[in-house]
Structure 1
Amino acid sequence: MFGMGFTEILVIAIIAILFLGPDKLPDAMVQIAKFFRNTKNTINTMKSTIEEEMHVKSIKDEALAYKKELLDASNQVKSATDIKQMAAKLTTLEDDTFGDIFDTPKTESIPDNKPKEVTLPKKKSTKTKEKLEEDNKNV
Protein backbone atom coordinates (compact mmCIF):
# COMPACT_ATOMS: atom_id res chain seq x y z
CA MET A 1 0.00 0.00 0.00
CA PHE A 2 1.43 3.37 -1.18
CA GLY A 3 4.70 1.65 -2.01
CA MET A 4 5.42 0.78 1.64
CA GLY A 5 6.30 -2.60 2.94
CA PHE A 6 5.26 -4.31 6.17
CA THR A 7 8.27 -3.04 8.11
CA GLU A 8 7.59 0.63 7.26
CA ILE A 9 3.97 0.29 8.36
CA LEU A 10 5.09 -1.38 11.62
CA VAL A 11 7.54 1.46 12.35
CA ILE A 12 4.81 4.09 11.71
CA ALA A 13 2.39 2.18 14.05
CA ILE A 14 4.96 2.04 16.86
CA ILE A 15 5.66 5.77 16.53
CA ALA A 16 1.90 6.50 16.56
CA ILE A 17 1.42 4.41 19.74
CA LEU A 18 4.27 6.25 21.45
CA PHE A 19 3.17 9.69 20.26
CA LEU A 20 -0.62 9.41 20.72
CA GLY A 21 -0.78 7.03 23.61
CA PRO A 22 -3.17 4.13 24.10
CA ASP A 23 -6.20 6.41 24.81
CA LYS A 24 -6.26 8.40 21.53
CA LEU A 25 -4.92 5.69 19.22
CA PRO A 26 -8.26 3.95 18.43
CA ASP A 27 -9.94 7.29 17.53
CA ALA A 28 -6.96 8.26 15.40
CA MET A 29 -7.08 4.91 13.55
CA VAL A 30 -10.81 5.37 12.84
CA GLN A 31 -10.21 8.88 11.48
CA ILE A 32 -7.31 7.70 9.32
CA ALA A 33 -9.49 4.89 7.91
CA LYS A 34 -12.31 7.39 7.17
CA PHE A 35 -9.81 9.68 5.44
CA PHE A 36 -8.53 6.88 3.20
CA ARG A 37 -12.09 5.70 2.45
CA ASN A 38 -13.21 9.24 1.53
CA THR A 39 -10.10 9.74 -0.61
CA LYS A 40 -10.73 6.43 -2.42
CA ASN A 41 -14.42 7.33 -3.02
CA THR A 42 -13.45 10.77 -4.31
CA ILE A 43 -10.90 9.28 -6.70
CA ASN A 44 -13.47 6.74 -7.99
CA THR A 45 -16.05 9.50 -8.44
CA MET A 46 -13.55 11.60 -10.36
CA LYS A 47 -12.70 8.64 -12.61
CA SER A 48 -16.36 7.95 -13.40
CA THR A 49 -17.01 11.64 -14.02
CA ILE A 50 -14.06 11.87 -16.36
CA GLU A 51 -15.18 8.73 -18.21
CA GLU A 52 -18.70 10.16 -18.56
CA GLU A 53 -17.29 13.45 -19.79
CA MET A 54 -15.11 11.63 -22.29
CA HIS A 55 -18.13 9.71 -23.55
CA VAL A 56 -20.21 12.87 -23.67
CA LYS A 57 -17.40 14.62 -25.46
CA SER A 58 -17.23 11.92 -28.13
CA ILE A 59 -21.01 12.09 -28.59
CA LYS A 60 -20.78 15.88 -28.81
CA ASP A 61 -18.02 15.60 -31.43
CA GLU A 62 -20.14 13.20 -33.48
CA ALA A 63 -23.14 15.52 -33.23
CA LEU A 64 -21.06 18.48 -34.37
CA ALA A 65 -19.74 16.46 -37.31
CA TYR A 66 -23.31 15.53 -38.34
CA LYS A 67 -24.36 19.16 -37.95
CA LYS A 68 -21.51 20.28 -40.20
CA GLU A 69 -22.46 17.71 -42.85
CA LEU A 70 -26.09 18.81 -42.75
CA LEU A 71 -25.15 22.47 -43.06
CA ASP A 72 -22.88 21.71 -46.01
CA ALA A 73 -25.63 19.72 -47.74
CA SER A 74 -28.23 22.43 -47.13
CA ASN A 75 -25.85 25.07 -48.47
CA GLN A 76 -25.29 23.01 -51.61
CA VAL A 77 -29.03 22.60 -52.14
CA LYS A 78 -29.60 26.28 -51.47
CA SER A 79 -26.91 27.34 -53.92
CA ALA A 80 -28.24 24.97 -56.57
CA THR A 81 -31.77 26.33 -56.27
CA ASP A 82 -30.92 30.00 -55.89
CA ILE A 83 -31.91 31.55 -59.22
CA LYS A 84 -30.44 34.95 -58.41
CA GLN A 85 -27.09 33.40 -57.71
CA MET A 86 -27.24 31.41 -60.94
CA ALA A 87 -28.08 34.55 -62.90
CA ALA A 88 -25.16 36.35 -61.29
CA LYS A 89 -22.86 33.50 -62.28
CA LEU A 90 -24.07 33.64 -65.87
CA THR A 91 -23.51 37.38 -66.12
CA THR A 92 -19.98 37.09 -64.78
CA LEU A 93 -18.95 34.55 -67.41
CA GLU A 94 -16.66 35.82 -70.10
CA ASP A 95 -18.22 36.97 -73.36
CA ASP A 96 -16.16 34.44 -75.29
CA THR A 97 -18.01 31.58 -73.69
CA PHE A 98 -21.31 32.31 -75.39
CA GLY A 99 -20.08 34.74 -78.04
CA ASP A 100 -19.38 32.03 -80.58
CA ILE A 101 -22.80 30.51 -80.12
CA PHE A 102 -24.97 33.60 -80.28
CA ASP A 103 -23.00 36.13 -82.32
CA THR A 104 -21.76 34.18 -85.34
CA PRO A 105 -24.13 34.14 -88.31
CA LYS A 106 -25.10 30.78 -89.68
CA THR A 107 -23.76 30.02 -93.14
CA GLU A 108 -26.06 27.12 -93.80
CA SER A 109 -29.28 27.87 -95.63
CA ILE A 110 -32.49 27.13 -93.85
CA PRO A 111 -34.74 24.86 -95.92
CA ASP A 112 -37.86 26.58 -97.23
CA ASN A 113 -41.03 24.90 -96.04
CA LYS A 114 -43.25 26.45 -98.73
CA PRO A 115 -44.91 23.99 -101.11
CA LYS A 116 -43.35 23.84 -104.56
CA GLU A 117 -45.30 23.68 -107.78
CA VAL A 118 -44.93 20.37 -109.55
CA THR A 119 -45.56 20.05 -113.27
CA LEU A 120 -45.87 16.78 -115.09
CA PRO A 121 -45.21 16.33 -118.79
CA LYS A 122 -48.32 15.95 -120.89
CA LYS A 123 -49.04 12.59 -122.39
CA LYS A 124 -49.71 12.43 -126.06
CA SER A 125 -53.08 11.10 -126.72
CA THR A 126 -53.68 8.75 -129.60
CA LYS A 127 -57.38 9.39 -129.56
CA THR A 128 -58.80 11.92 -131.83
CA LYS A 129 -60.98 14.80 -130.78
CA GLU A 130 -64.07 13.00 -131.87
CA LYS A 131 -63.40 10.02 -129.69
CA LEU A 132 -62.75 12.27 -126.74
CA GLU A 133 -66.05 14.04 -127.23
CA GLU A 134 -67.87 10.73 -127.40
CA ASP A 135 -66.20 9.53 -124.22
CA ASN A 136 -67.20 12.74 -122.45
CA LYS A 137 -70.83 12.34 -123.56
CA ASN A 138 -70.95 8.75 -122.30
CA VAL A 139 -69.87 9.75 -118.90
Structure 2
Amino acid sequence: MVEATRVEGPGKGRSVGELIATVSEQFSRLIRDELQLAQLQLAEKGKRLGVGAGLLGGAAVVALYAVGVLLAAAVLGLATVLPAWLSALIIGVFLLIVAAVVGFVGKKAIDASKRFAPKPQEGLKDDLDAVKKGIQK
Protein backbone atom coordinates (compact mmCIF):
# COMPACT_ATOMS: atom_id res chain seq x y z
CA MET A 1 0.00 0.00 0.00
CA VAL A 2 1.31 3.45 -0.96
CA GLU A 3 1.38 6.02 1.79
CA ALA A 4 0.65 9.70 1.01
CA THR A 5 3.62 12.03 1.24
CA ARG A 6 3.41 14.21 4.33
CA VAL A 7 4.86 17.71 4.54
CA GLU A 8 6.77 19.00 7.56
CA GLY A 9 6.46 22.59 8.73
CA PRO A 10 3.48 24.97 8.96
CA GLY A 11 1.24 22.61 6.98
CA LYS A 12 2.29 19.73 9.23
CA GLY A 13 0.16 16.65 8.98
CA ARG A 14 -1.29 17.55 5.58
CA SER A 15 -0.52 15.66 2.43
CA VAL A 16 0.87 17.32 -0.68
CA GLY A 17 -2.49 16.71 -2.37
CA GLU A 18 -4.32 18.52 0.43
CA LEU A 19 -1.91 21.43 0.21
CA ILE A 20 -2.36 21.65 -3.57
CA ALA A 21 -6.15 21.56 -3.13
CA THR A 22 -5.92 24.39 -0.58
CA VAL A 23 -3.70 26.47 -2.85
CA SER A 24 -6.05 25.85 -5.76
CA GLU A 25 -9.08 26.94 -3.71
CA GLN A 26 -7.32 30.06 -2.42
CA PHE A 27 -6.08 30.93 -5.92
CA SER A 28 -9.57 30.69 -7.42
CA ARG A 29 -10.95 32.84 -4.57
CA LEU A 30 -8.18 35.34 -5.27
CA ILE A 31 -9.08 35.45 -8.98
CA ARG A 32 -12.77 36.03 -8.14
CA ASP A 33 -11.84 38.85 -5.76
CA GLU A 34 -9.60 40.48 -8.36
CA LEU A 35 -12.39 40.33 -10.94
CA GLN A 36 -14.79 41.89 -8.45
CA LEU A 37 -12.27 44.68 -7.78
CA ALA A 38 -11.95 45.30 -11.54
CA GLN A 39 -15.75 45.56 -11.78
CA LEU A 40 -15.87 48.13 -8.99
CA GLN A 41 -13.10 50.17 -10.58
CA LEU A 42 -14.87 50.21 -13.95
CA ALA A 43 -18.11 51.26 -12.24
CA GLU A 44 -16.24 54.16 -10.62
CA LYS A 45 -14.84 55.23 -14.00
CA GLY A 46 -18.34 55.12 -15.50
CA LYS A 47 -19.64 57.27 -12.67
CA ARG A 48 -16.94 59.88 -13.28
CA LEU A 49 -17.67 59.93 -17.01
CA GLY A 50 -21.36 60.39 -16.22
CA VAL A 51 -20.65 63.44 -14.07
CA GLY A 52 -18.57 65.04 -16.84
CA ALA A 53 -21.24 64.31 -19.44
CA GLY A 54 -23.92 65.78 -17.16
CA LEU A 55 -21.93 68.97 -16.72
CA LEU A 56 -21.45 69.28 -20.48
CA GLY A 57 -25.19 68.78 -20.94
CA GLY A 58 -25.82 71.55 -18.41
CA ALA A 59 -23.46 73.82 -20.34
CA ALA A 60 -25.44 73.14 -23.52
CA VAL A 61 -28.72 74.08 -21.81
CA VAL A 62 -27.25 77.33 -20.47
CA ALA A 63 -25.83 78.13 -23.92
CA LEU A 64 -29.28 77.55 -25.42
CA TYR A 65 -30.80 80.07 -23.02
CA ALA A 66 -27.96 82.48 -23.85
CA VAL A 67 -28.76 82.24 -27.55
CA GLY A 68 -32.40 83.00 -26.79
CA VAL A 69 -31.44 86.04 -24.75
CA LEU A 70 -29.00 87.23 -27.40
CA LEU A 71 -31.71 86.90 -30.02
CA ALA A 72 -34.07 88.88 -27.81
CA ALA A 73 -31.34 91.50 -27.39
CA ALA A 74 -30.87 91.73 -31.14
CA VAL A 75 -34.60 92.12 -31.68
CA LEU A 76 -34.86 94.76 -28.98
CA GLY A 77 -31.80 96.56 -30.34
CA LEU A 78 -33.17 96.71 -33.84
CA ALA A 79 -36.74 97.51 -32.80
CA THR A 80 -35.98 100.37 -30.51
CA VAL A 81 -33.22 102.67 -29.52
CA LEU A 82 -33.97 102.28 -25.82
CA PRO A 83 -31.22 100.95 -23.53
CA ALA A 84 -33.26 97.79 -22.73
CA TRP A 85 -31.41 95.94 -25.47
CA LEU A 86 -28.10 96.73 -23.77
CA SER A 87 -29.21 95.06 -20.58
CA ALA A 88 -30.44 92.01 -22.54
CA LEU A 89 -27.09 91.90 -24.34
CA ILE A 90 -25.21 92.01 -21.03
CA ILE A 91 -27.38 89.15 -19.69
CA GLY A 92 -26.72 87.10 -22.82
CA VAL A 93 -22.96 87.57 -22.60
CA PHE A 94 -23.08 86.67 -18.91
CA LEU A 95 -24.96 83.45 -19.71
CA LEU A 96 -22.36 82.54 -22.34
CA ILE A 97 -19.61 83.05 -19.78
CA VAL A 98 -21.48 80.77 -17.35
CA ALA A 99 -21.85 78.16 -20.11
CA ALA A 100 -18.13 78.37 -20.85
CA VAL A 101 -17.22 77.87 -17.19
CA VAL A 102 -19.58 74.91 -16.77
CA GLY A 103 -18.30 73.40 -20.02
CA PHE A 104 -14.70 73.80 -18.88
CA VAL A 105 -15.48 72.10 -15.55
CA GLY A 106 -17.24 69.26 -17.39
CA LYS A 107 -14.28 68.78 -19.72
CA LYS A 108 -11.91 68.67 -16.75
CA ALA A 109 -14.10 66.00 -15.12
CA ILE A 110 -14.00 63.88 -18.28
CA ASP A 111 -10.23 64.34 -18.59
CA ALA A 112 -9.82 63.34 -14.94
CA SER A 113 -11.83 60.17 -15.56
CA LYS A 114 -9.48 59.30 -18.44
CA ARG A 115 -6.49 59.55 -16.10
CA PHE A 116 -8.20 57.13 -13.68
CA ALA A 117 -7.15 53.82 -15.18
CA PRO A 118 -8.12 50.73 -13.20
CA LYS A 119 -5.35 48.14 -13.42
CA PRO A 120 -6.62 44.86 -12.04
CA GLN A 121 -3.82 42.99 -13.79
CA GLU A 122 -1.29 44.64 -11.45
CA GLY A 123 -3.05 43.27 -8.38
CA LEU A 124 -3.21 39.85 -10.00
CA LYS A 125 0.49 40.02 -10.87
CA ASP A 126 1.34 40.91 -7.27
CA ASP A 127 -0.76 37.98 -6.06
CA LEU A 128 0.97 35.60 -8.47
CA ASP A 129 4.37 36.83 -7.33
CA ALA A 130 3.37 36.23 -3.70
CA VAL A 131 2.21 32.71 -4.55
CA LYS A 132 5.48 32.01 -6.39
CA LYS A 133 7.51 33.24 -3.41
CA GLY A 134 5.42 31.07 -1.09
CA ILE A 135 5.99 28.00 -3.26
CA GLN A 136 9.74 28.61 -3.42
CA LYS A 137 10.09 28.63 0.38
TM-score (norm 1): 0.39
Identify the structure with bigger relative contact order (alpha carbons < 8 Å, sequence gap 6+).
2
Higher helix share: 2
Larger Rg: 1
